[in-house]
Amino acid sequence: MEDIDLNNLPKHIAVIMDGNGRWAKSKGAMRIFGHHHGIAAVRETVEACAEMGVGFLTLYTFSTENWGRPKAEVDGIMSLLVKTIGDEVPTLHKNNVRLKCIGDLNMLPNKAKNEMLEGIEKTKNNTGLVLSLALSYSGKWDIVQAIKQIAAKVKSDELKIEDINEQMFNGFLSTFPDPDVDFLIRTGGDHRISNYLLWQSAYAELLFLDDVFWPDFRKKHLIEAVKTYQQRERRFGKTGEQIKTIK
Ligand code: FPP
């Protein structure tokens, strides 16, 4: 941890926690076994972010597309969610972590939705790490729900078409007022974004970990990942020379 430059931390880390199913299969177990073991990785990631002083951590917990998985797996993940939130919220609260949710919460079974809402309510005044769980979330869903809100405001004359711009659009995304993603990490070996935070990751640095399935992800992996991030030059469309002058 001491090799990390605390002045150059990603403000917002997003994670695609992939590989639970394959991890379980490699052990001859059911896929849900992998999801259960993913909780230890979630805990370590949250702890490491809080210790480093990362402001925002957003975990891809259940995508819109995941509803298409076998019912037994979906039910298993939902039960795990209820249990985990129930078990972990007191510790999150003690550590000043604020729990949030992005996605279509209304799609969740009532038990999961209520457990989430309770956790969000209990931790809403915390001022430390903001931990967002993406649940029934997809990047395209997020953009469409923002467009619907804006269209309704245009229709009711609350907003003029000329006033639509990137900054105001951002204000209607489910992540608002969190900053854009600086660093997107995906475990499990696939090199894609899978409809995650599409708008918010426009200039994110991407890191694909080929050799780590999510249940094996530990603090040391996050620390190594942040070191890799700190070696990248973020140019935001400018030249390297310009970036050095600005610094
Ligand atoms: C992707 O692995 C993982 C998921 C779809 C579920 C992630 C859920 C958890 C880690 C548990 C719940 C978390 C919280 C925060 C309460 P995969 O199933 O796609 O794995 P595969 O690519 O090997 O099939």
Walk me through the domains of the chain, giving residue ranges and CATH numbers: 12-232 (3.40.1180.10)
What token pair was written down for 86? 């129930």
Cβ of residue 80 lying under 6 Å from some atom of ligand 1: yes
Classified as helix, coil or strand, 95 is: coil
Q: Which of 18, 142, 178, 182 is catalytic?
A: 18
* pLDDT at site 246: 65
Plot region of 71 (φ>0 → left; ψ -120 to 50 → alpha; else → beta): alpha
Question: How far is Cα 12 from Cα 193, in angstroms, rounded to an integer?
Answer: 16
Question: How far is Cα 92 from Cα 126, in angstroms, rounded to an integer?
Answer: 9
Distance 151 CA to ligand 1 centre (A): 34
* pLDDT at site 234: 81
pTM for the model stands at 0.95
Classified as helix, coil or strand, 191 is: coil
- Measured from the Cα of 59, ligand 1's closest atom is 15
Residue type, 149: Q
- Measured from the Cα of 38, ligand 1's closest atom is 10
Element (H, E) at 57: strand 56-63
* pLDDT at site 247: 58
Question: How far is Cα 132 from Cα 120, in angstroms, rounded to an integer?
Answer: 10
Alpha helices in 96-239 (DSSP H): 110-122, 139-155, 166-170, 219-231
Long-range pairs of 118-123 with CB within 8 A, sequence gap ≥ 24: 118/85, 118/89, 119/85, 119/89, 119/92, 122/89, 122/93, 123/89, 123/92, 123/93, 123/97, 123/98, 123/99
User: What does the CA dihedral 73, 31, 222, 192 come to, rounded to 10 degrees?
Assistant: -70
Ranges in the chain, pLDDT < 50:
none
Cβ of residue 108 lying under 6 Å from some atom of ligand 1: no
The torsion angles phi and psi of 89, rounded to 5 degrees, stand at -60, -40
For atom 9 of ligand 1, the residue with the nearest CA is 35
User: What does the CA dihedral 128, 201, 106, 90 come to, rounded to 10 degrees?
Assistant: -20
Q: Which of 66, 95, 170, 195 is catalytic?
A: 66
